Structure 1
Amino acid sequence: GEDGNNGPGAKGGGYRDASGSKLGKSKRGKEARKGKESAGAKRNAPDAGRSKPSPRLGSEAKDSTRPKSKEETRPNGKKPNLLEKMRNRLQGSQFRWLNEKLYTCSGREAFEMMQKDDKMFDNYHLGFQTQTEHWPVRPVDVAIKFIQNRARQQHKKQGGEPLRVADFGCGDAEVSLHFSKSSSSAAVVECHSFDLVSKNPRVVACNMAKVPLESGCCDIAIFCLALMGNDYPLFLREAERCLKANGTLWIAEVRSRYSKVKGGDTRNSDFVKRICSDLNFKLLKHDNSNKMFVTYVFEKHGQGKGKANEAGKSSSPQDLVASWPKLSSCVYKKR
């Protein structure tokens, strides 16, 4: 063998250690056992076969892969500070409290509450916009499109007479604003907007059960997620009063508000049946395709003076409210 070979066939015979000295038989056995134990320990070590992260990549690298919560980032990419987090949580809790209150009180009580402190109105609508900003389709956009189509039809038939719309629970009057932006739209749509608080000249503040419109003056009445209050049937009866004969009632409401009906078809709900039987409407169209809300289009029959049209049924507010189904409150998630 070569000079560096210390195997049994090497020149001079026998095993030699690192220094070149010969090893005895017993000593050679001990050295062999030590080598095997050392190799086994390396194989079984927790970090065997894995490279250790450099000090720079320690906990920071671990945190960089952690999903960030919604509170951790803002649109500008910065993290909200503690004060902003607390403010967001407070606004969310205020919105949920107001939401529950508006669904469980009467229209008169809601109007009086908002008139005492109109900041409540701002807080509610800010929270509402936050809750619905990620909806695939906004119901107000569906309402605007419906009105546009109807306005074109009427403009052709009646030679320029404007389509008169009553928007119950209008919020910031987005429907009215849309049609007032262009002179051509304003010429064919005349929108009357009502809500509990007036935040701009387009809105009249009032109880939705008593709006300042003459009977039989409107072509369309709209309730866009606006049937709030335990006396909501009075809002619908007021809309019926304001509509012309053959006028249109358009409603959009959150799906979860309706009691479960066979097959999930809300056309068979007590809510729809009462509108048709007590207020003399006919259901023309129903859209259940949106996962967030349902829309209805009703047509008013006869003179419709806000009175029950079936024998033995009273038109008093108390009896009307008591005989109608209770709609579930709309519960929004914490954000």
Structure 2
Amino acid sequence: MPETQKRLLLRLHAGFFRHLNEQLYTCHSSETNRLFSSDPSVFAKYHELYRTQVEKWPENPLLKVISELEKLPNRTTIADFGCGDALLARTLKNKRVYSFDHIASNEYVTPCDMMHVPLNDQTVDVVVFSLSLMGKNLSDYISEAHRVAKPRGKLRIVEVKSRFESVSDFVSKLANLGWRVDNVDHVSNNVFIWIRAVKQERRASGPVDLRLLPCLYKCR
């Protein structure tokens, strides 16, 4: 393929990825679920381009999460919300990992809307959100994580730093949703923030408006 054609193709792919990303960050998860369910090829293309983006990062943040989870006992049960191609489950084969996303890209993944996952109450030890807090109903995701987590279950979140207007405000709202944050790591990497929290029973009685900024991609 001629070099000029390659560059054009890359720009078209980048434009598609940027547009879809902005859409996913700003719509309700039920809308996202309908979009991908109606045309699974869009989901496949999105994750193909996502993997290309990962290769450009200084590190894949999910690998740090996996490294931490590998140290837990083999009986540990994990729920991976927004798992993509289920790298976590494919790597941690000595753990029980439930992998959820809008579309099943392989046999490890259970397709669903992450605000309603097919697990019973208090069934998992650790819930993971690795770059998957996308949409305008994030509180629904975190509430669902609280429902399926065992008493004193753990929550692991990794997200892009630029999405946080205020880390302290985000931590406060996690507490309102039933999660006590024990550690926030924002110094070991220039791009990502890792949050570690533990389930607590006390929660706010009213709605909690948990928000993150979209990752908006500039046209180039």
Which blocks of at least 5 consecutive residues in structure 1 are unaligned?
A: 1-78, 156-161, 181-185, 303-307, 315-319
Partner of 1:273: 172
Q: Does 1:328 align with 2:213?
A: yes
3-state SS of paired residue (1:149): coil
> Contact 1:271–1:324 at 8 Å: present in 2 too?
no
> Contact 1:102–1:110 at 8 Å: present in 2 too?
yes
Distance, in Å, in 2 between the alignment partners of 1:195 and 1:219 is 19
Q: How do residues 57-206 of structure 1 correspond to structure 2 at under 5 angstroms?
A: 80-151=2-73, 155=74, 162-180=75-93, 186=94, 189-206=95-112
Distance, in Å, in 2 between the alignment partners of 1:292 and 1:132 is 12
Going from structure 1 to structure 2, the CA distance change for 1:197 and 1:85 (only over 3 Å counts) comes to: same
Give the TM-score taking structure 1 as reference length: 0.62
Distance, in Å, in 2 between the alignment partners of 1:135 and 1:90 is 20
Judging by fraction of residues, say which structure has more helix: 1
Judging by fraction of residues, say which structure has more strand: 2
> Contact 1:225–1:254 at 8 Å: present in 2 too?
yes
Distance, in Å, in 1 between the alignment partners of 2:14 and 2:23 is 14
Measured after TM superposition, the shift of residue 325 of structure 1 is: 4.3
Measured after TM superposition, the shift of residue 124 of structure 1 is: 1.4
Distance, in Å, in 2 between the alignment partners of 1:280 and 1:326 is 16
3-state SS of paired residue (1:109): helix
Distance, in Å, in 2 between the alignment partners of 1:80 and 1:273 is 53
> Contact 2:77–2:126 at 8 Å: present in 1 too?
yes
Measured after TM superposition, the shift of residue 169 of structure 1 is: 0.3
Relative contact order (C-alpha < 8 Å, sep 6+): which is higher? 2
Distance, in Å, in 2 between the alignment partners of 1:178 and 1:123 is 23
Measured after TM superposition, the shift of residue 327 of structure 1 is: 1.2
Which blocks of at least 5 consecutive residues in structure 2 are unaligned?
A: none
Distance, in Å, in 1 between the alignment partners of 2:104 and 2:11 is 27
Distance, in Å, in 1 between the alignment partners of 2:82 and 2:56 is 21
Partner of 1:283: 181
Distance, in Å, in 1 between the alignment partners of 2:193 and 2:105 is 28
Distance, in Å, in 1 between the alignment partners of 2:141 and 2:125 is 17
Identity in percent: 33
Measured after TM superposition, the shift of residue 80 of structure 1 is: 4.1
Larger radius of gyration: 1
- Report the RMSD for the aligned CA atoms in angstroms: 1.7
3-state SS of paired residue (2:71): helix
3-state SS of paired residue (1:237): helix
Distance, in Å, in 1 between the alignment partners of 2:144 and 2:211 is 18
Give the TM-score taking structure 2 as reference length: 0.93
Partner of 1:19: none
Measured after TM superposition, the shift of residue 334 of structure 1 is: 5.2
